[in-house]
Amino acid sequence: MAFWILAPIMVVAALGILFVRKAVHAALLLAVVMISLAVLYAVLDAPFLFAVQIIVYTGAILMLFLFVLMLVGVDASDSVVETIRGQRAMATVLGLLLGLVLVTGFSQIALGTAVGLDEANEGGNIQQLANVLFSRYVFAFEATSALLITAAMGAMVLAHRERLTPKSTQSSLAAQRMRDYAETGKHLGPLPSPGVYARHNAVDTPALLPDGTASELSVSRVLAARGTVRSAPAFADDIDEVRRQLAAGRSDATADPDRMPEQGGKDGAPATTEEDVPR
Amino acid sequence: MNLQTIVLAAEGGAIPVVHPVDADGVFSLLWLIIALPLAGAVVLLLGGALAPRALDRVGHWLGTATVAGSFGLSLAMFVSLLGRSEEERQVGQHLYTWFEVGGLDVGMDLLYDPLSALFLLLITGVGALIHVYSIGYMEHDARRRRFFGYLNLFVAAMLVLVLSANYLGVFLGWEGVGLASYLLIGFWQHKHSAAAAAKKAFVINRVGDIGLSLAIALMFTTFGTTDFAAISESAGDASQGTLNALGLLLLLAACGKSAQVPLQAWLLDAMEGPTPVSALIHAATMVTAGVYLVVRSNFIYDLTPTAQTAVVIVATVTLLWGAVLGCAKDDIKKALAGSTMSQIGYMMLAAGLGPAGYPFAIFHLLTHGFFKANMFLGAGSVMHGMNDDVDMRHYGGLSKYMPVTFLTFAMGYLAIIGFPGFSGFWSKDKIIETALAENLVVGLCALLGAGITGFYMTRLMLMTFFTEKRWADDVHPHESPRLMTVPLIVLAALSVLGGVLILNDFIVDFLAPVTGVAEHHEPPLAPLVITLIVTLVVAAGVAAAWFLVGKRDIPREAPQDVSFATRAARADLYGDAINEGLVVQPGRRLVGGLATFDRVGVDGVVEGGSAAVGGMSGVLRRVQNGFVRSYALSLLGGALLVVLALLAVNLA
Amino acid sequence: MTNEYIVLSAILFTIGCVGVLTRRNAIVVFMCVELMLNACNLALVTFAKQHGNLDGQIAAFFVMVVAAAEVVIGLAIIMTIFRTRRSASVDDASLLKY
Q: Is B636 touching A (CB cutoff 8 A)?
A: yes
* Per-domain boundaries in chain A: 1-78, 192-279
Task: Give yes or no for residue C13 having a pLDDT over 80.
Answer: yes
Average pLDDT for chain B: 89
Closest-CA distance of chain A to residue B636, Å: 7
Is C94 in contact with B627 (Cβ distance < 8 A)? Answer: yes
**What are the chain B neighbours of A102 within 8 Å (beta carbons)?**
643
Instruction: Quote the number of domains for chain B.
Output: 2
Return the amino acid letter for A206: P
The residue type at A130: A
The pLDDT score that the predictor gives to residue C7 is 93
Length of chain A counted residue by residue? 279
- C27 inside 8 A of chain A by CB: yes
User: Would the pLDDT of A265 be above 50?
Assistant: no
Cross-chain CB nearest to C90 (options B624, B629, B636): B629
Picking from B270, B288, B303, the residue at the C-terminal end of a domain is: B303
Residues of chain B with pLDDT under 50: 1-12
Out of A94, A102, A105, the one facing B637 most closely (by C-beta) is A94
Burial of A134 from C-beta contacts in 10 A (0-12 / 13-18 / 19+)? exposed
Q: Write the residue in A94, A102, A105 that is nearest to B636 by C-beta.
A: A94
Domains of chain C: 3-89 (1.10.287.3510)
Neighbours of chain B (3+ CB pairs under 8 A): A, C
With CB atoms and an 8 Å threshold, state whether C65 touches A147. Answer: yes
Res A269: pLDDT? 42
Q: Which residues contact B27 (CB under 8 A, 6 or more apart)?
A: B77, B80, B91, B93, B112
* Helix or strand (DSSP H, E) at B111: strand B104-112
Amino acid letter for position A71: L
CA distances from A146 to B7, B224, C76 (A): 105, 77, 18
3-state SS of chain A? CHHHHHHHHHHHHHHHHHHCCEHHHHHHHHHHHHHHHHHHHHHCCCHHHHHHHHHHHHHHHHHHHHHHHHHHCCCCECCCCCCCCCHHHHHHHHHHHHHHHHHHHHHHCCCCCCCCCCCCCCCCHHHHHHHHHCCCCHHHHHHHHHHHHHHHHHHHHHHCCCCCCCCCCHHHHHHHHHHHHHHHCCCCCCCCCCCCECCECHHHCCEECCCCCEEHHHCCHHHHHHCCCCCHHHHHHHHHHHHHHHHHHCCHHHCCHHHCCCHHHHCCCCCCCCCCCCC
pLDDT, tens only, A130-140: 999 999 999 99
Among C17, C24, C98, beta carbon nearest to B624:
C98
Q: What is the pLDDT of residue B218?
A: 93
Residue A76 scores a pLDDT above 60: no
The letter for the amino acid at B217 is: A
Beta-carbon separation of A17 and C4 below 8 A: no
Strand B91-101, strand A214-215: pairing: unpaired
Which of B459, B458, B448 has the alpha carbon at shortest distance from B319? B448
Cβ partners under 8 Å of residue B119, min gap 6: B162, B292
For residues B372 and B339, the answer to whether their CB atoms sit within 8 Å is: yes
Q: Is there a contact between C90 and B626 if contact means CB atoms under 8 Å apart?
A: no
Contact A68, C27 (CB under 8 A): yes
Cβ of B636 and C90 within 8 Å?
no
Nearest CA-CA distance, residue C16 and chain B, Å: 11
Among A36, A122, A49, which Cα is nearest to C58's? A49
Q: With CA atoms as reference, report the closest residue to B268 among B188, B342, B158, B163.
A: B342
Q: Residue A27 and residue B232: Cα distance in Å, rounded?
A: 104
Domain for residue B605, yes or no? Answer: yes
Report CB contact under 8 Å: C58, A132.
yes
Question: By CA distance, what is B641's nearest residue in A?
Answer: A98
Looking at residue A200, its pLDDT comes to: 61
Across the interface, whether the CB atoms of C48 and A46 are under 8 A apart is answered yes
Distance between terminal CA atoms of chain C?
Answer: 50
Report the percent of chain A where pLDDT is more than 70: 80
Q: In this structure, what DSSP letter does residue B108 have?
A: E
Chains with at least 3 CB pairs less than 8 angstroms from chain A: B, C
Determine whether the interchain pair A116/C49 forms a contact, defined as Cβ–Cβ distance below 8 Å: yes
Quick check: helix, strand or coil at residue B186? coil
Inter-chain residue contact A97 with B640, CB threshold 8 Å: yes
Exposure on the CB side of residue A172, measured as CA atoms within 13 A: 5
pLDDT score of A77 more than 70: no
Q: For position A262, what pLDDT does the model report?
A: 45
Domain boundary pick from B303, B329, B348: B303
Report the candidate in B333, B363, B332, B327 with the shortest Cα–Cα distance to residue B346: B363
B348 domain-assigned: no
Non-local CB neighbours of A51 within 8 Å, separated by 6+ positions = none
Task: Provide the number of CB pairs (under 8 Å) joining chain A to chain C.
Answer: 232
Please check the confidence at residue A150 and state whether its pLDDT lies above 80: yes
Q: Which residues of chain C make contact with B625, given a CB cutoff of 8 A?
A: 94, 97-98
Whether A65 contacts chain C with CB within 8 A: yes
B644–chain A Cβ distance below 8 A for any pair: yes
Tell me the chain B residues in contact with residue A101 when contact means C-beta distances shorter than 8 Å: 640, 643-644, 647
ipTM of the complex in this document: 0.94
**Rounded Cα distance, B89 and C10, in Å:** 107
Average pLDDT over residues C33-44: 94
Report which residue type is found at B650. N
Looking at B249, B269, B303, which one is the last position of a domain?
Answer: B303
Percentage of chain B exceeding pLDDT 90: 55
- Report the distance separating Cα C64 and Cα C37, nearest Å: 8
Buried b (16+ CB within 10 A) or exposed e, A182-202: eeeeeeeeeebebbeeeeeeb
- Alpha-carbon gap, residue A41 to A57, rounded angstroms: 13
Q: Do C23 and A78 touch (CB under 8 A)?
A: yes
Q: Is residue B551 part of a domain?
A: no
Q: Is B77 exposed, middle or buried (0-12, 13-18, 19+ CB in 10 A)?
A: buried
Q: Which residues of A touch B (CB under 8 A)?
A: 84, 87, 90-91, 94-95, 97-98, 101-102, 105
Going by the DSSP 8-state scheme, the letter that residue B139 receives in this structure is: T
Chain A interface includes B639 (CB < 8 A)? yes
pLDDT tens per residue across span A228-241? 776 666 666 666 77
pLDDT at B10: 39
Distance of CA B606 to the CA centre of its chain: 46
Q: Which CATH number fits domain A1-78: 1.20.120.1200, 3.40.250.10, 1.10.10.1100, 3.30.420.40?
A: 1.20.120.1200
pLDDT at residue C24 is higher than 90: no
State the pTM of this model: 0.65
Quick check: helix, strand or coil at residue B351?
helix
Asked if C85 has any chain A CB less than 8 Å from its own CB, the reply is: no
Give the distance from residue A120's alpha carbon to the nearest chain C alpha carbon, in angstroms: 6
pLDDT digits (tens, 9 = 90+) for C62-85: 999 999 999 999 999 888 888 888
Chains A, B: CB pairs < 8 Å: 29
Q: Are C24 and B629 an interchain contact pair (Cβ–Cβ within 8 Å)?
A: yes
| Cβ-defined contact of B630 to A84 (cutoff 8 Å) | yes
Among candidates A94, A102, A105 on the partner chain, residue whose Cβ is nearest the Cβ of B633 = A94
Q: Chain C within 8 Å of B626 (Cβ-Cβ)?
A: yes
If one counts every other C-beta atom within 10 angstroms of the C-beta of residue B182, the result is 21
Are the Cβ atoms of A101 and B644 closer than 8 angstroms? yes
CA nearest to B525, candidates B425, B626, B435, B418: B435
If you measure CA to CA, which chain B residue comes closest to C25? B629
Position B558 in a domain: no
Q: Is-cis flag, bond preceding B262, omega within 30?
A: yes
DSSP conformation letters of B268-322: HHGGGS-HHHHHIIIIISGGGHHHHHHHHTHHHHTT-HHHHHHHHHHHHHHHHHH
H or E stretch at B104: strand B104-112
Choose among C21, C30, C58: nearest Cβ to A137: C58
Burial class (CB in 10 A: 0-12, 13-18, 19+), B80: middle
C-beta of residue B63 within 8 angstroms of C-beta of residue B171: no
pLDDT > 70 fraction of chain B, expressed in percent and rounded = 98
Taking CA–CA distances from C83, the nearest residue in chain A reads A72
Cross-chain residue pair B633–A101, CB shorter than 8 Å: no
Q: What's the CA gap between B252 and B258, in Å, rounded?
A: 10
Q: Which residues of C touch B (CB under 8 A)?
A: 17, 20-22, 24, 29, 90-91, 93-98
Give the residue from B98, B118, B120, B122 showing the smallest Cα distance to B108. B98
**Domain range for B606:** 578-651
Judge whether B646 is closer than 8 Å to chain A, CB to CB.
no
Using a CB–CB cutoff of 8 Å, tell me whether A135 touches chain C.
no
Which pLDDT does position A134 carry in this prediction?
Answer: 93
Q: Which sign does the torsion angle of CA C22, C28, C30, C36 carry?
A: negative
pLDDT at B27: 87
- With respect to residue B204, please indicate whether it lies within any of the assigned structural domains: yes
Of all residues in chain B, the one with the smallest CA distance to A89 is B633
Give the H/E segment covering residue B482: helix B482-497
Judged by CB atoms closer than 8 Å, whether chains meet at C97 and B628 is answered as no
Contacting residues of B for C97, CB less than 8 Å apart: 624-627
Subunit contact C24:B633, Cβ cutoff 8 A: no
CA B574, distance to chain mean position in Å, is 21
Considering only CA atoms, which of C85, C78, C93, C31 is closest in space to residue A155? C78
* Binary contact (B637, A97; C-beta < 8 A): no
Instruction: Check if the beta carbon of residue B249 is closer than 8 Å to that of residue B212.
Output: yes
In single-letter form, the type of residue at position B253 comes to A
Give yes or no for A33 touching C (CB within 8 A).
Answer: yes
Contact B626 C17 (CB under 8 A): no
Amino acid found at B326: G
B-chain CB neighbours of C22 within 8 Å are 629
